[in-house]
Amino acid sequence: MARRYWNINLEEMLEARVHFGRGTKKWNPTMAPYISAKRKGIHITNLTRTSLFLSEACDLVFDAASKGKKFLIIGTKNKATDSVARAAIRARCHY
């Protein structure tokens, strides 16, 4: 797998509120390395680490797509239904 440079901007991630995790009462202790702080009962996700993993995931998806693999896009939240459908239709994927 070739490493590529993906333009993942931390400021845009902040604006998209990617850093807000789950509530501090409902969390899995294995997530501790990925949490940078706790504020008002919510864990704050480490965006630097998230951007690295997101870049790796982009590499994997890019490689699979270039080999003609098919994808299934899943959204588990009711609010995400329209976004998932639009993204899947644009990418010609199943949803």
Tens of pLDDT along 66-89?
Answer: 999 999 999 888 888 899 999 999
For residue 55, give the nearest of 1, 12, 2, 4 by alpha carbon. Answer: 4
Please check whether residue 47 is in contact with residue 13, taking contact to mean a CB–CB distance below 8 angstroms. Answer: yes
Q: Alpha helices of 35-80 — where are they, by DSSP H?
A: 47-66
pLDDT at 2 exceeding the cut of 80: no
Class of CATH domain 10-91: alpha beta
Q: Does the reported pTM lie above 0.85? A: no
